[in-house]
C-alpha cells in the first residue's frame, strides 16, 4: 500500500462511529477485513477479563439539539464527535441553562469540537464548538440521543502472518475512537499496510486490532498462556501527522525492540523517551505481571498536538507522506528483526585476505565502497559468537543494512558461520 492508499483507507474509515464496543467497531474491522484475513472475536458482556468486566454494548443511531425554529444546532449526522461516547438515551425539552451541564467545549480553541467519553459511568452529553455555544439562545431545545446500552459483545480482531519460527512480533493498534484520523485511523492504516507487505518471514507477526485499554486487557486475558512467545512488540498510534517520529521504550528499557528502534531511528528525525504507565496500550502489555517487550511508536505523541482529540484531527491533518514514512520505519525494524544474528569468524587469527576471495573486487564501482569495506572489517572483528549484527551496527555506527549485507557476503565466502539468533 502506498501513502495515498493508506490515506484513502483513513478517509473511508473516518465517518464511522467507533467506541469500545458496537457496530462501528464491527464495520471498521469489516473494511480492514477486505484487505487482510482477520480472525474476529466477540466477547460477551459480563465476561471477566483480568480485573475488568466486559461492559454492555453501546450503539447509536442519531442525536441532536434542535432550537425553537427546528434547526439542528448540534447534529450527530454531521459529526459523530458531537455526542459523548456511551451516552445513555435521552429525549427531553430543556432550556439552555438546564442543558448547559451536559455540554462540552474547548474555550481555548473555539472553532473545534472536543472528543469526550464516559464508558463506565451512566451519563450523557454533547460536544460542540465554543463558537456554536456562544450563538445559542435560551431555548427551549429539543434534546435527543437515540442510543442503546444493552448486553452484547466486545469485538476485536487478529491477523497473523506465520513465520518459520513460533517467536512472535506483536503489532497492536486501537480501534475505539470515532472520527479521529491520526488517533487512531492512521495507525490502523499503517498496520494494515505492514501486514500486507510481509512475505514468508522468519518470525511470526501478530496484528491485534482492539479497543483501547479494555480490548488489550481482553486480549491478554484470553492469551495469557501464549504471551511467552512474544519476543518483540509495538503499539502503533498517531502515525500520520507531520511531526517527527517518537519511540517510547518498553518497561524493560533495554529489550531488543528498544535497541532495534534506536538503530532504525538513528538517521531519521526522532525522539526516544523512557517508559511511563500512561499513554496507549503499551501500558497493558508492559504491566508488571506480563512485562512484555513492547514499545510504542508514534509521530507526535499522545496529547502532543493541538488537534488531539478534537474535530481538527480530520483526514486533512494526516498526510500520505507521513504515513509512508512511518511504514518505512517499521519496515526497517522488520528487516533488522528478520536478519539479525550472531556469527562466528572462521578465520579469527589475523585479518583474512579478502581480495583473493573476490570480496574487495565485488565492491568496485559502488558509491559506498568505503562503507562496505568497513562493514566487512567490523563484522569480522566482532563475530565471536557473542555479538549480534545489531551490536556491530551500534558499535561501528554503520547502517544495519550495510552490516547485514557484509555478513551475507562473508558467509558466502566461507569466512563466517551463523551460530545463533540476534535481536
**CATH label of the domain that carries residue 8:** 3.40.630.10
pLDDT per residue of the chain (423 residues) written in tens, 0 to 9: 999 999 999 999 999 999 999 999 999 999 999 999 999 999 999 999 999 999 999 999 999 999 999 999 999 999 999 999 999 999 999 999 999 999 999 999 999 999 999 999 899 999 999 999 999 999 899 999 999 999 999 999 999 999 999 999 999 999 999 999 999 999 999 999 999 999 999 999 999 999 999 999 999 999 999 999 999 999 999 999 999 999 999 999 999 999 999 999 998 999 999 999 998 999 999 999 999 999 999 999 988 999 999 999 999 999 999 999 999 999 999 999 999 999 999 999 998 988 888 887 655 555 677 888 899 999 999 999 999 999 999 999 999 999 999 999 999 999 999 998 877
CATH number at residue 77: 3.50.30.90
Whether 274 has a binding-site annotation, put simply, is: no
Distance CA 172, CA 323 (A): 16
Q: What does DSSP say about strands 52-53 and 57-66: parallel, antiparallel, or unpaired?
A: unpaired
E strand intervals along 316-372: 341-345
Ordered DSSP codes for 184-253: IIIHHHHHHHHHHH--S-SSEEEEEEE-TTHHHHHHHHHTGGGGGGEEEEEEE-S-SSSSPEEEE--SSS
Domain boundary among 292, 319, 338: 338
Q: What is the pLDDT of residue 30?
A: 98
Cα distances from 93 to residues 36, 59, 61, 84, 127, in angstroms, run 47, 23, 19, 19, 18
Q: What is the pLDDT of residue 76?
A: 98
Q: Based on the domain organization, do 259 and 327 belong to the same domain?
A: yes
Q: Based on the domain organization, do 125 and 267 belong to the same domain?
A: no
Whether 104 has a binding-site annotation, put simply, is: no
Total residues found in the chain within this entry: 423
Q: Based on the domain organization, do 112 and 244 belong to the same domain?
A: no
Q: What is the pLDDT of residue 226?
A: 94
Q: What is the pLDDT of residue 361?
A: 60
Into how many domains does the chain fold? 3
Q: Based on the domain organization, do 146 and 222 belong to the same domain?
A: no
CATH number at residue 356: 1.10.10.10
Domain boundary among 131, 150, 169: 150
Whether 20 and 154 have beta carbons less than 8 Å apart is answered as yes
Q: Based on the domain organization, do 311 and 386 belong to the same domain?
A: no
Q: Based on the domain organization, do 15 and 41 belong to the same domain?
A: yes
Domain boundary among 150, 170, 201: 150
Q: Which domain holds residue 111?
A: 57-150
Q: Based on the domain organization, do 158 and 20 belong to the same domain?
A: yes
Whether 391 has a binding-site annotation, put simply, is: no
Q: Based on the domain organization, do 192 and 321 belong to the same domain?
A: yes
Q: Based on the domain organization, do 16 and 90 belong to the same domain?
A: no
Single out the residue of 152, 215, 218 nearest to residue 188, CA to CA.
Answer: 215
Q: What is the pLDDT of residue 218?
A: 98
Single out the residue of 161, 171, 158 nearest to residue 234, CA to CA.
Answer: 171
Q: What is the pLDDT of residue 354?
A: 87
249: left (phi over 0), alpha (psi -120 to 50) or beta: beta
Q: What is the pLDDT of residue 369?
A: 77
Q: Based on the domain organization, do 233 and 100 belong to the same domain?
A: no
Q: Based on the domain organization, do 243 and 319 belong to the same domain?
A: yes
Single out the residue of 143, 147, 178, 146 nearest to residue 73, CA to CA.
Answer: 143
Q: What is the pLDDT of residue 259?
A: 95
Q: Based on the domain organization, do 11 and 137 belong to the same domain?
A: no
Amino acid at each position: 500500500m502506498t501513502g495515498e492508499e493508506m490515506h484513502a483507507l483513513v478517509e473511508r474509515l473516518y465517518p464511522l462511529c467507533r467506541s469500545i464496543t458496537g457496530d462501528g467497531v464491527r464495520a471498521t474491522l469489516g473494511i480492514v477485513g477486505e484487505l487482510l484475513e482477520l480472525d474476529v472475536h466477540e466477547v460477551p458482556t459480563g465476561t471477566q477479563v483480568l480485573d475488568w468486566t466486559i461492559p454492555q454494548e453501546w450503539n447509536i443511531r442519531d442525536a441532536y439539539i434542535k432550537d425553537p425554529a427546528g434547526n439542528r444546532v448540534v447534529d450527530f449526522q454531521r459529526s459523530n464527535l458531537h455526542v459523548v461516547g456511551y451516552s445513555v438515551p435521552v429525549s427531553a425539552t430543556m432550556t439552555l441553562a438546564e442543558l448547559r451541564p451536559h455540554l462540552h467545549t474547548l474555550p481555548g480553541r473555539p472553532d473545534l469540537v472536543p472528543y469526550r467519553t464516559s464508558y463506565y459511568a451512566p451519563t450523557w452529553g454533547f460536544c460542540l464548538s465554543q463558537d456554536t455555544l456562544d450563538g445559542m439562545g435560551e431555548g427551549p431545545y429539543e434534546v435527543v440521543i437515540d442510543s442503546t446500552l444493552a448486553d452484547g459483545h466486545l469485538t476485536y480482531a487478529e491477523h497473523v502472518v506465520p513465520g518459520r519460527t513460533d517467536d512472535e512480533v506483536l503489532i497492536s493498534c486501537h480501534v475505539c475512537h470515532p472520527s479521529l484520523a491520526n488517533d487512531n485511523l492512521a495507525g490502523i492504516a499503517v498496520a494494515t499496510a505492514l501486514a500486507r507487505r510481509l512475505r514468508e518471514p522468519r518470525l511470526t507477526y501478530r496484528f491485534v486490532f482492539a479497543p483501547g485499554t479494555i480490548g488489550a486487557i481482553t486480549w491478554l486475558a484470553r492469551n495469557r498462556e501464549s504471551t511467552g512467545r512474544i519476543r518483540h512488540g509495538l503499539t502503533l498510534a498517531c502515525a500520520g501527522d507531520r511531526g517527527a517520529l517518537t519511540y517510547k521504550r518498553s518497561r524493560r528499557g533495554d529489550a531488543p525492540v528498544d535497541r532495534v528502534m534506536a538503530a532504525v531511528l538513528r538517521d531519521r528525525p526522532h525522539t526516544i523517551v523512557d517508559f511511563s504507565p500512561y499513554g496507549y496500550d503499551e501500558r497493558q502489555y508492559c504491566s508488571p505481571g506480563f512485562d512484555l517487550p513492547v514499545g510504542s511508536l508514534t509521530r507526535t505523541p499522545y496529547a502532543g498536538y493541538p488537534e488531539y482529540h478534537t474535530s481538527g484531527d480530520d483526514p486533512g491533518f494526516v498526510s500520505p507522506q507521513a504515513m509512508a514514512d512511518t511504514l518505512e520505519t517499521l519496515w526497517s525494524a522488520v528487516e533488522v528483526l528478520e536478519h539479525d544474528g550472531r556469527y562466528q569468524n572462521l578465520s579469527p587469527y589475523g585479518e583474512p585476505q579478502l581480495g583473493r576471495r573476490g570480496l574487495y573486487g565485488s565492491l568496485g564501482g559502488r558509491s559506498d565502497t568505503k562503507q562496505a569495506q568497513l562493514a566487512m572489517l567490523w563484522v569480522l572483528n566482532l563475530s565471536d559468537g557473542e555479538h549480534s549484527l545489531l551490536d556491530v551496527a551500534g558499535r561501528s555506527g554503520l547502517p544495519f543494512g550495510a552490516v547485514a549485507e557484509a555478513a551475507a557476503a562473508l558467509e558466502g565466502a566461507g569466512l563466517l558461520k551463523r551460530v545463533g539468533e540476534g535481536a
